[in-house]
Amino acid sequence: MTMWGGRFTEATLSEFRDFNDSLSFDYLLAQQDIAASRAWAKGLVQAGIINNNEAQQLDQGLADLAAALKLDPRLPLQSQEEDIHSWVESQLTAKLGSVAKKLHTGRSRNDLVATDLRLWTRLQAGSVRQSLLAAIAALLEFAQQAEQAVMPGFTHLQRAQPVLVAHWALAYVEMFKRDLGRLDDALVRMDSCPLGCGALAGTGIAIDRLVLAKELGFANAALNSLDAVSDRDYLVELSAAASLCMTHLSRLSEDVIFFCSGEAGFFKLGDAISSGSSLMPQKKNPDVFELLRGKTGRVLGHLVAILHVLKGLPLAYNKDMQEDKQGFFDLMHSWQQSLMVLATVLPHLTVNREQCRKAAELGYSNATDLADYLVSKGMPFRDAHECAGELVLVASRQQQPLEALSLDQMQQVSLLISADVYPALTLEAGMARRCALAGTAPVKVMQALSDAKSWFTKLI
Ligand code: ARG
């Protein structure tokens, strides 16, 4: 039984129904549809459409349905209804009879679906937020455990300058902090209730929409009915926030995959989070980080899809909008799951301090320190860069590090160099010098870690 039989004389084609119906996926909105309906029933009393007794019957019927769904969330899938809105109404009608037929007075599935999806999104965004916080906490703990471990920092994937492992982890904390800001920001903007906007032009019944909005936990009621029923901006905003956050996750994963490679060997994956090869007995693979990288592609695809669904739609509701759900459901699930997985696997990742340090000392990553040393002796930086470059060439021809060159060899390039160059070329000296705000000097990184921890403690 459809909700719209009266003006039709022919039965619908089953092929059309299969294509048109959305119950197979929008059943996930069942609890939200019930919550919106309970609030609407209250509004109907206030508007004088139903009496208190009828409202009570509706409320009880809806509460019973919510309880049944709690036990079996897939209950709607047993029916042939078109969508979750028709399913809720038909269940209620089967139970309560004609009073249930009053529920849809003054509302439309257009304002209803817009409301349900916002309620669902708000709920799911809450678990994404929790998982994001868990991922941040795990990164802070990783930074803490790494203590003073040093590893090479890269540009162009070439060894550049040494950095603390904790500095690397805190870089991702910064990204996730911004992601949290974007999530919270989107939640504020979507905090507006479309219910009571009818099909497109507003409702004809005397309902206080602000009271209705508050009843459903919204801060505001949407101000324009045409906009309210067709606004899916929040899906785009959250999909964009998810895409950027997943991009961060993906970059972190790529770093970890490389750091765990035989070539780098900076980090080691615990057995509990690794998989092997069915053929090569020696293999231990970082599948979990590869999957995080792969899920990112999937989430980015959903962002592009929702933008394409909305682009060019005339006001107000169009059935194209039914296509907003599956991708978005999957996006929210993938986003939340990925963050939670990161939080779960990070404690199983250990830092190979010796290997990290060895690698940080290689590759002439103290060449900038040599140039800076010459600057400290009065040489202009451009010339100092040239001299340090010449010494890198000499040393690399001898397959030696810079600090293995004799003073004599160094002085052939610049007489400004004296024996105090050697302490300036140590890893510790180089790191300690990068002590301006945001630098990798251990004292600064420890300060940044403690600042991040107190930011986090205040937040939760
Ligand atoms: N299943 C629809 C959707 O998700 C519900 C709204 C249907 N409205 C309509 N006028 N056909 O968009």
Q: What is the pLDDT of residues 244-271, one digit of tens each?
A: 999 999 999 999 999 999 999 999 999 9
Catalytic pick from 24, 277, 376, 418? 277
Residue pLDDT, tens place only, 300-351 = 999 999 999 999 999 999 999 999 999 999 999 999 999 999 999 999 999 9
Pocket test for ligand 1, best of 20, 84, 86, 113 (most atoms within 8 A of CB): 113
Q: Indicate which CATH number applies to the domain containing 26.
A: 1.10.275.10
pLDDT at residue 6 above 90?
Answer: no
Does residue 228 share a domain with residue 137?
A: yes
Residues 332 and 389 in one domain: no
**Same domain, yes or no: 280 and 383:** no
274, 336: one domain: yes
277 catalytic? Reply is yes
CA 322 to centroid of ligand 1, rounded, Å: 6
Task: Identify the bridge partners of residue 193 per DSSP, sorted by sequence position.
Answer: 221
Percent above pLDDT 90 for the chain: 95
Structural tokens at position 195: 């219910």
Global pTM? 0.95
- Let me know whether 257 and 375 are in one domain: no
Q: Pick from 352, 386, 418: which residue ends a domain?
A: 352
Do 191 and 274 reside in the same domain of the chain? Answer: yes
- Residue 81 beta carbon below 6 angstroms from any ligand 1 atom: no
Residue type, 452: A
Q: Which of 322, 323, 326, 328 most suits a substitution to test ligand 1, by most atoms within 8 Å of the C-beta? A: 322
Question: Residue 353 is which amino acid?
Answer: R
The residue among 303, 325, 352 that closes a domain is 352
Q: Per residue in 132-179, pLDDT tens?
A: 999 999 999 999 999 999 999 999 999 999 999 999 999 999 999 999
Predicted pLDDT at 1: 64
Say yes or no: 100 and 125 in one domain: no
| 22, 81, 87, 109, best to mutate for ligand 1 pocket (most atoms within 8 Å of CB) | 109
Structural domain range at position 406: 359-459
Per-residue pLDDT at 426 exceeds 90: yes
* Percent of residues, the chain, with pLDDT higher than 70: 100
As a whole number, the mean pLDDT across the chain is: 97
User: Which atom of ligand 1 sits closest to the CA of residue 82?
Assistant: 1
**289 with 346, same domain?**
yes
Same domain, 288 and 417: no
Q: What is the pLDDT, as a whole number, of residue 431?
A: 96
Domains identified in the chain, total number: 3
Q: Which of 195, 188, 196, 200 is nearest to 233 (CA)?
A: 188
Nearest CA to ligand 1 atom 2: 322
- For ligand 1, say whether the CB of 86 is within 6 Å of any of its atoms: no
Does 156 participate in catalysis according to the annotation? yes
CATH number of the domain bearing residue 320:
1.20.200.10
d(CA 110, CA 115): 9
Please name the residue whose Cα sits nearest to atom 12 of ligand 1: 322
Cβ atoms of 405 and 368 closer than 8 Å? no
**Beta carbons of 198 and 106 less than 8 angstroms apart:** yes
Given a contact cutoff of 8 angstroms between Cβ atoms, the answer to whether 428 and 434 are in contact is: no
Sequence length of the chain is 460
Claim to verify: residue 101 and residue 198 sit in the same structural domain:
no
pLDDT tens per residue across span 189-206 = 999 999 999 999 999 999
Q: What does the pLDDT look like over 344-390, one tens digit per residue?
A: 999 999 999 999 999 999 999 999 999 999 999 999 999 999 999 99
Last residue of a domain, one of 321, 337, 352: 352
Question: In sequence order, what are the residues at sequence separation of 6 or more whose Cβ sits closer than 8 angstroms to the Cβ of residue 156?
Answer: none
CB 22 less than 6 A from any atom of ligand 1: yes
Task: Give the pair of three-digit tokens for residue 317.
Answer: 């509701």
Beta strand extents in 79-134 (DSSP E only)? none
**Distance of CA 105 from the midpoint of ligand 1 (Å):** 17
Tell the burial category of 97 from Cβ atoms under 10 Å away from its Cβ (0-12, 13-18, 19+).
Answer: exposed
Residues 74 and 114 in one domain: no
Q: Mark whether 176 and 64 lie in a shared domain.
A: no
